[in-house]
Structure 1
Amino acid sequence: MEFLQYIIDLGTAVMLPLVIFVIALLFGVKIGKAFYSAISIGIGFIGIGIIVDFMNAQIGPAAQAMAENFGLTLTVIDLGWPGMSPITWASSIALVAIPIAVLVNIVMLVLKMTRVVNVDIWNVWHMTFTGAIAYVATGNYWIGILGVIVHAMIAYKFGDWFCYDTDEYFGLEGIAVPHGTSAYMAPIAVIVDTIIEKIPGLNNINLDHEKIEKRLGVFGQPVVVALFLGLIIGILAGYDVKNILQLAIKVAAVISLLPKVIKPVMEGLLPISEVVKAKLQARFKGADFLIGLDPAILLGDPVVVSAGLIFIPLTIIIALIVPGNEVMPFGDLATIGFFIAMGVAVHKGNLFRTLISGIVIMFMTIWIANQSIGLTTKLAETTGTLSDSASRVAALDQGGSPVTYIFTQLFNMTNLIGFVIIGIIYAIGLYLTWTRYKKMEKENVA
C-alpha cells in the first residue's frame, strides 16, 4: 500500500510514463522503444501541466476579481480538481481504489463488456472520489468500495460510447477518454443535441471553427479569438490597460501552445498502442481495443479552448442564478474545457450548441456541488486536509458529478426531489447516449 501511495505521489507526468513503460514491456515492445515512448508521454504531460498551471495563474486572479466586481457574496470556495484530487488520494479508500479499478477493467475486457484498456491510473481519483464520498455519507466501507466499482464500470462504458467522437472529431484513432468531467457530462450534451435537432431554425444554426474563420478572416483565427476573449475577461475583472493587454496575450499564447504540448503524448503513445492492440486483438480473436487516456489530450481543440474561455465569466453569471447557491466557482474556472470538451465533439464543433449544452452542464454542476458541500467538507476533515476547521469546501469537478450524486443519494437520501430530477435527466442522457452509439456503430460497420 505504501508503494502504491508513493507511485501516486509521483504525479501523472511521472506515473503515467511508468505505467506505459511497464505495459509496453509486458506486451513485448523493445525496451528502447518503450523507454523513448514513455519519456515522450511524460514530456507531453509536463507541457500540458505547465500550460494548465499557467492558465490557472492568469485566469484565477481575474476570475476572483470578476466575482468581486459582480458583487458575489458566495461563501463556499470551489477547490477545483487541483484541491480535491489530493484530498481524495488521502482517503482510506484511495489505496485499494487503483487495484479495484484495474481489476474491474480486466473483468470487463474478459467479459467483452468494454473495449477500453485504461492506462490513465492517475484519473482513478475520480472513481475514488465516488467511493470516498459514499463512505463518508454512510459510514459503510463496502458501500464505498461499491462506489469505486460502479463509477469505474460507467467510466469505461463512456470510453466505448464516445469512441467515435474521439476518433472522428478529435482525430484520435484508437483512443478513448473514459475519465473525468468530459466523460460523465457528455450525456447532457447528447440530450441538448437531440432536442435542438427537433427545433426548426435552431437546428440550422452552425457556428463551427471553419465558418467563423471564413467569415471573420484573420479575426476568426483561434489565437485572435482567444486574444479578444482575454481582453473581455480583463475588462470584466476591472484590470487597468496594462494588465488587460498582458492577460489577453497570455490567453492567446495558451491556445497556440496547447496543441503543441499535446503532440509528444500522441507521438509516444501511438507506437505502443499499436503493439498493445495487436497483441490483445490476437488474444481476444480480433477485438478492436481502445487505449484510455486523460481528457487533457482534448484541450488542444480550438473550439474547446474558445468555449472554455467564454465559460469563465459565464459560469460566474450562472452561479448567480442557481437557486440557493453558496459555491463560488474558482478552482475549476481555468479548466472549464474539461467539462465541455466531449460535448464539443457531440455537437461536431458547433459552438452555438456547445454554449447551450455548456450552460445546462454548468448549472447542473453548480447545483449538485451545493448539495455536496457537507460531504466534501467532511471528506476534507476526515483526511486531515482542511486547514480551517470552521470553513466549508466544495468542488465543481467530481463534487458536481451526477454519477457520484446519484450513487450517494441511493444510500443516503438527503434530497428526494433533487435525486429524482437529476436521476431522470441523467437516465435519459445515458439512454440517448447508448442509442446514439449503437447508431454510429452500425454506420461505421456499414
Structure 2
Amino acid sequence: MDALLSVVQYFVNLGASVMLPIVIFIVAIALGTPLGKAVKSGLSIGIGFVGIGLIVNFMLTNLSPAAQAMSANFGISMSVIDIGWPGMSPMTWASRIALVAIPVAIVVNLVMLALKMTRVVNIDIWNIWHFAFTGAIVDIATGSYTLGIIAVCIHAAFAYKIGDWFAPTVNRYFGLEGIAMPHGTTGWFAPISVFVDFVIDKIPGIRDIDFNPTHLQKRFGTICTPSVMGAIMGIIIGVLAGYDVRGILTLAIQMSAVIVLMPVVVKYIMNGLLPISEVARKRLQNKFNESRFFIGLDCALLLGDPVVVTASLLFIPITILVAAIVPGNIILPFGDLPTIGFFIAMAVGVHGGNLFRTLITGCIVMFMTIWISNQTMVWQTQLASNAGQLTDAAAKVAALDQGGSPVTYIITQILTLQNIGGLLAIGAFYLICVAFTIVWSRKQYKEWDEETAKENSQD
C-alpha cells in the first residue's frame, strides 16, 4: 500500500503540466488512437499548460505589487496574506487524505456513470485536489478520517453534477464541444450567476444593460478590441496603485499582452484535447445507446475568452475594495488575484458575455469567498502546519481558492455547528441558487437539443 501511495505521490508531484499530458496519452492509446497522434495530443496539452503557467506567473509578478500598492493607497490594512491556490494545493497534496482522494474520486465518477447519474467522464486528475481539500478540512475540523473521505465523495459527486448542469454553457457559449467543467472553483460559484440572471431579468431597465465587449467592438471599433481593453485595464490598475507614468505604461502593455496571449496558449490545449474527446465520446455513445457524454477538464480552457480575461483584470481592484467591506475580514487578497478568472469564468458564459451582469455576480462571489475563507482560516492554518509549512506558531494561513468554497464551508459547518448563523445564511442562499440552476439547466438542455435537431435537419 505504501509503495502504491509513493507512486501516486510521485505522479502528483509532476504537476498538472506533466500529469495531464500523461493521462491524455494513456487515455488516447486506450481508445485506439495511433501512437503518433497520442504523443502529439499529449505534447500539445503540455505546451498549453506550460503557457498558461507562464502567463499566470507573469501576472502574479506584475500584478501582485500593484495590488499591494492599491491596498496601501486605500488605507486597507489586513494581517493575513491570501496565499492563493499555488500555495494551498501543495499543502493539500501533503495531507493524509489527498492521495486516497484520487482513487475515491475516480470510483465515485465510475459509479455515477454506471447509475446514469452523470454524463461527465472526468480526466482532470490534478484538480481532484479540490475534493481532497474539503476532505482534509473536514478531517481536521472533526478529527474523523472517515468523515473526511465521505466529504471527498460528496464534493466529487457534486462536482460531476455541476459539470452536467453547465455543459450546455461550455458547449454553446464557449464553443467547447463535448467538454464539461467539473471544477472546484468556477463550478461552485456558477449557480450564483444563474440566480443573479433570474433576478436581473425581473428588473425593468437594469435587465436591458449589456456591456458586452463583442457588441461594444462592433459599435465603437478598435477601442474595444481585446488588446486595447487589456491596456486600459492596465492603466486603471497602475493609476490606482499610484505608479508613475513609466510604471503605468509598462503595466498597460503587460496586461494587453496577457489578454492577447491567453487565448493563444489555450488553443494548444484545445488542439490536443478535442481529437481525444471526440473519440472518447463516440466510443461511449456507441456503448450506451447514443447517450450524450462530456469529457471533464480544467476550466483553464475558459480563460481564453476575452470577456473572462477582461473581467479578471477588472476584479483585481474590485476584489481589494470588496475585501475592505467584508465584516471582520483580515485577509488581504493577493495570491489568487491573477487567477480571479477561475472564480467568474462560468458566470461569463451564463450571462452570455454581459460584463455588467458578470460584475454583479463577481462582487457577490468575492464577498462570499472572502467571508468564508475567514471562517475556515483556523483549519487552513492547521492544514499548513500539518504539511510543515509554518515556521511561526502564531502565523495564520488562508487562501481564497478552496478556502472560500461554499461547499467545503457548508459540509464542515453541518458536521461541527460552530457557526449556525453562517451555516443558515450561506447554506440557504447557496441551496436556492442550486435549485434555480437545476431548473435553468433543464431549459438549457431543451434549447440545445432543439438547436441540434434544427442543424441536423438542415444537413
**Coarse TM-score class (shorter-chain normalised):** over 0.9
1:227-306 counterparts in 2 under 5 A? 227-306=231-310
The secondary structure found in structure 2 opposite 1:162 is: helix
The yes-or-no answer on 1:356 pairing with 2:360 is yes
Calculate the TM-score normalised by the size of structure 1: 0.99
Displacement after TM superposition at 1:215 (Å): 3.1
1:92 to 75, 93, 96: 96
The counterpart of 1:314, out of the listed 318, 339, 345, is: 318
Secondary structure of 1:393 counterpart: coil
Once residues 203 and 416 of structure 1 are traced to their aligned partners in structure 2, the CA distance between those partners, rounded to angstroms, is 35
Q: 1:122 aligns with which of 119, 126, 140?
A: 126
- Once residues 38 and 160 of structure 2 are traced to their aligned partners in structure 1, the CA distance between those partners, rounded to angstroms, is 25
Residue type matched to 1:278 in 2? K
Q: Deviations over 1:316-347 (max 9, x none)?
A: 00011111111111110111111100000010
Q: 1:106 aligns with which of 105, 110, 128?
A: 110
Match among 417, 420, 423 for residue 424 of structure 2: 420
Q: How much does 1:387 deviate? A: 3.3
Match 2:445 to one of 433, 441, 445: 441
Q: Deviations over 1:353-392 (max 9, x none)?
A: 0011111111111110110111100111112122332210
Aligned-partner Cα distance in 2 for 1:336–1:28: 38
Equivalent residue number for residue 454 of structure 2: none
Q: 1:141 aligns with which of 138, 142, 145?
A: 145
Where does residue 60 of structure 1 map in the other structure?
A: 64
User: How far apart, in 1, do the equivalents of 2:224 and 2:271 lie?
Assistant: 29
Report how far residue 282 of structure 1 moved: 1.7
Q: What one-letter code is carried by the residue in structure 2 that aligns with 1:314?
A: I
Q: CA deviation at 1:414?
A: 1.1
Report the more deviating stretch, 266-275 or 126-135.
266-275
Say whether 1:34 aligns with 2:38: yes
Any residues of structure 2 matched to 1:356-395 within 5 Å, and which? 356-395=360-399
Equivalent residue, structure 2, for 1:70: 74
Distance 2:274 2:139 in 1: 38
- Which runs of 4 or more aligned residues in structure 1 lie more than 4 Å from their structure 2 counterparts after TM superposition? none
- Report the equivalent of 1:339: 343
Candidates 194, 201, 208, aligned match of 1:204: 208
Q: Deviations over 1:208-259 (max 9, x none)?
A: 1222213332111111011011011111111121111111100000000000
Per mean C-alpha deviation after superposition, the further-off stretch among 256-265 and 206-215 is 206-215
Q: Secondary structure at the match of 2:174?
A: coil
What per-residue deviation string (whole Å, max 9, x for no partner) do you get for residues 190-221 of structure 1? 11111001111111111112222133321111
Q: Which runs of 5+ in 1 are unaligned?
A: none
User: Of the candidates 176, 182, 196, which is equivalent to residue 180 of structure 2?
Assistant: 176
* 2:168 maps to amino acid: Y
The answer to whether residue 24 in structure 2 is matched with residue 50 in structure 1 is no
Distance (Å, rounded) in 2 between the aligned partners of 1:387 and 1:125? 24
> Contact 1:132 / 1:379 at 8 angstroms: preserved in 2?
yes
Alignment-derived partner of residue 455 in structure 2 = none
Q: Which moved more, 1:194-203 or 1:30-39?
A: 30-39
Answering whether residue 19 of structure 2 is matched by residue 11 of structure 1, we say no
Mapped to 1, the partners of 2:76 and 2:449 lie a distance apart of 52
CA deviation map 1:27-52 (0-9, x unaligned) = 22122211111111111111111111
Amino acid at match of 1:417: G
280-289 vs 335-344, which moves further = 280-289
Please state if 1:23 is matched with 2:51. no
Q: Distance in 2 between matches of 1:222 and 1:387?
A: 44
2:435 corresponds to which letter in structure 1?
Y
Which whole-Å CA distance do the structure 1 matches of 2:158 and 2:107 have between them?
Answer: 14
1:445 is displaced (CA, Å) by 2.6
After superposition, what is the alpha-carbon deviation per residue over 1:92-112, rounded to whole angstroms, capped at 9, x for unaligned? Answer: 001100001111111111111
| Cα distance in 1 between the residues matched to 2:356 and 2:151 | 35
Can you give the 5+ residue segments of structure 2 that lack an aligned partner in the other structure? Answer: 451-459
CA RMSD of aligned residues (A): 0.9
* CA distance, structure 2, for counterparts of residue 211 and residue 349 of structure 1: 10
Give the percent of matched residue pairs that are identical in Structure 1 and Structure 2: 58
Paired with 2:198 and 2:189, the residues of 1 have a C-alpha distance of 15
Shift in Å at residue 180 of structure 1? 2.6
State the Cα distance separating 1:399 from its structure 2 match. 0.4
What's the CA shift string for 1:399-419, capped at 9, x where partnerless?
A: 000000000001111111110
Counterparts of 1:109 and 1:414, CA distance in 2: 36
The aligned amino acid for 2:23 is V
For residue 453 of structure 2, what is the aligned residue in structure 1? Answer: none
The superposition leaves residues 89-146 of structure 1 with CA deviations (integer Å, 9 ceiling, x where unpaired) of: 0100011000011111111111111111111100001000000000000000010001
Aligned partner of residue 291 in structure 1, secondary structure: strand
| Letter of the structure 1 residue corresponding to residue 162 of structure 2 | F
1: CA distance, partners of 2:338 / 2:392: 25
Q: Deviations over 1:288-318 (max 9, x none)?
A: 1101111111111111111111110011000
